[in-house]
């Protein structure tokens, strides 16, 4: 089963014209826009004083489970930066917790899963996907409150982790450089690997469709670490599952598929059926944009987040270059190549957004 792309399915959700015709959703569909839309991955986060204030005194996971505070940080970041889309405030790993894997975030050290999956029996012991999706009701509440807090012409992006990236966290138990445990499990326990991917996809499909019902008008799938795979392994161990997830996402909602280091996988990722391909700074946007355009797919990216740490003139010149390299794309959403770093000056992020709007309006090519 292949999903009918956003360009063919039309406004199946019946979104209000102001939203359906917003620059962000138009760019996702490959339609011309008066200005290049921009948002920033991790636009709400520790680099913002407002976020630190809202989080103060509690853990990150507590914040994720407080819908009103999630909406507050998501809406504040959207307004402060004047970006063209908001993104749900949550984390990709809450789905693993809902499936029964204990999850904690160490202060400054990132995620930690103290009971990682290392044996086939642990895959069988995972929770029921429908129950897991139902237990994530706090996410849908956060989404509803976020959408209610946004101006009517601003879309809210819902999201989930991709099956590969989530499986890698579940097996490694946290961050990793080599993905040795994950790949060993994939090669040695292949049946259990595929079963794990199936359970994840079942839960994720329900999860993102609940997000759409709660008001998300776009879904981004974060496959942050998929670039670690060879083409052969991607095809055998990941592509069928990722395709199935995308195929199950409701019609009329653009799907953005993001990964890092994916220069060698672009055609494979496109074949999984996304409407927009999110690419990082190690991949040439001109090449990716032209390739994606041949398949009727838009692109998102790809300014190196470290450029936000550069002197202002270098940052702005680099932003102009990203806009220029997107000339061959059929639809461009400006973004970073990965998330905003915590040492970023928020004023730099704001200046970047202003520049993208100014340059793309002036060039008139958008
Ligand atoms: O504004 C937004 O973009 C929305 C919120 C969002 C967060 N995480 C908040 C967050 C989104 C979309 C994510 C996705 C996510 N989470 C990914 C995919 C994107 C990527 O960066 O590749 C991944 C791999 C995770 C897992 C995760 N969560 C990690 C590795 C970390 C630690 C990294 C770090 O910067 O310390 C987190 C924690 C996390 N997720 C924070 C935030 C704001 C920091 C929490 C805090 O300490 O307050």
DSSP secondary structure, 227-294, as one string: GGS-HHHIIIIIHHHHHHHHHTSPTTS-EEEE-SS-TTTHHHHHHT--SEEE--TTS-HHHHHHHHHH
Residue nearest to atom 32 of ligand 1 (CA): 110
Could you tell me where the DSSP H helices lie in 35-109?
A: 49-55, 60-64, 67-81, 94-98
Q: Catalytic one among 46, 118, 195, 235?
A: 46
CA 78 to chain centre: 16
Residue 60 CA to residue 97 CA, distance in Å, equals 14
- pLDDT per residue rounded down to tens, the chain (366 residues): 678 889 888 899 999 999 999 999 999 999 999 999 999 999 999 999 999 999 998 999 999 999 999 999 999 999 999 999 999 999 999 999 999 999 999 887 799 999 999 999 999 999 999 999 999 999 999 999 999 999 999 999 999 999 999 999 999 999 888 999 999 999 999 999 999 999 999 999 999 999 999 999 999 999 999 999 999 999 999 999 999 999 999 999 999 999 999 999 999 999 999 999 999 999 999 999 999 999 999 999 999 999 999 999 999 999 999 999 999 999 999 999 999 999 999 999 999 999 999 999 987 544
Predicted local distance difference test score (pLDDT) of residue 108: 75
CA of 85 to the centre of ligand 1 (A): 18
- Is 195 a catalytic site residue? no
* Ligand 1 in reach of 45 Cβ (< 6 A): yes
The answer to whether residues 307 and 343 touch, using CB atoms and an 8 Å cutoff, is no
Q: Tell me, what DSSP letter sits at residue 153?
A: T
CATH class of 6-362: alpha beta
Predicted local distance difference test score (pLDDT) of residue 5: 86
- 70, with CB counted inside 10 A (0-12, 13-18, 19+), is buried
* Ligand 1 in reach of 207 Cβ (< 6 A): no
- Is 91 a catalytic site residue? yes
Residue 31 CA to residue 320 CA, distance in Å, equals 21
CA of 224 to the centre of ligand 1 (A): 11
Phi, psi (degrees; rounded to nearest 5) at 6: -60, -30
* Ligand 1 in reach of 60 Cβ (< 6 A): yes
- pTM, entire model: 0.97
* Ligand 1 in reach of 93 Cβ (< 6 A): yes
Residue 155 CA to residue 72 CA, distance in Å, equals 16
Predicted local distance difference test score (pLDDT) of residue 366: 45
The residue written with tokens 């590969």 in the block is: 164
Q: Catalytic one among 47, 51, 140, 169?
A: 169
- Is 314 a catalytic site residue? no
Predicted local distance difference test score (pLDDT) of residue 1: 64
Mutate which of 339, 340, 344, 346 to test ligand 1's pocket (most atoms within 8 Å of Cβ)?
339
């Amino acid at each position: 089963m292949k999903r009918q792309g956003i360009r063919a399915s039309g406004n199946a959700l019946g979104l209000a014209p102001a939203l359906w015709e917003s620059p962000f959703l138009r760019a996702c569909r490959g339609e011309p826009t008066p200005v290049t839309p921009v948002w920033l991955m991790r636009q709400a986060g520790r680099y913002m004083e407002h976020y630190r204030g809202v989080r103060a005194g509690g853990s990150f996971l507590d914040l994720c489970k407080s819908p009103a505070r999630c909406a507050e940080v998501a809406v504040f970041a959207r307004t402060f930066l004047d970006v063209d889309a908001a993104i749900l405030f949550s984390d990709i790993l809450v789905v693993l917790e809902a499936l029964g894997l204990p999850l904690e975030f160490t202060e400054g050290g990132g995620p930690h899963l103290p009971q990682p999956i290392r044996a086939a029996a642990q895959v069988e012991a995972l929770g029921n996907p429908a129950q897991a999706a139902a237990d994530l009701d706090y996410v849908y509440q956060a989404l509803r409150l976020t959408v209610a807090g946004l101006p009517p012409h601003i879309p809210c992006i819902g999201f989930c982790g991709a099956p590969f990236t989530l499986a890698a966290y579940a097996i490694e138990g946290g961050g990793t450089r080599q993905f040795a445990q994950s790949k060993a499990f994939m090669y040695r326990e292949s049946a259990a690997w595929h079963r794990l991917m199936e359970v994840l996809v079942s839960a994720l499909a329900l999860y993102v469709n609940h997000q759409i019902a709660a008001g998300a008008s776009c879904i981004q799938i974060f496959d942050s670490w998929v670039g670690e795979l060879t083409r052969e392994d991607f095809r055998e161990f990941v592509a069928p599952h990722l395709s199935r997830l995308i195929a199950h996402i409701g019609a009329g909602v653009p799907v953005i598929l993001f990964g890092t280091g994916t220069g060698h996988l672009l055609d494979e990722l496109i074949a999984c059926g996304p409407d927009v391909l999110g690419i990082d700074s190690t991949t040439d946007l001109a090449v990716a944009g032209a390739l994606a355009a041949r398949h009727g797919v838009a692109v998102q990216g790809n300014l190196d987040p470290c450029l936000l740490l550069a002197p202002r003139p270098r940052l702005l010149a680099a932003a102009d270059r990203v806009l220029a390299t997107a000339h061959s794309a059929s639809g461009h959403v400006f973004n970073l190549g990965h998330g905003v770093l915590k040492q970023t000056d928020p004023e730099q992020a704001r200046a970047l957004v202003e520049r993208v709007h100014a340059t793309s309006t002036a060039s008139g090519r958008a």
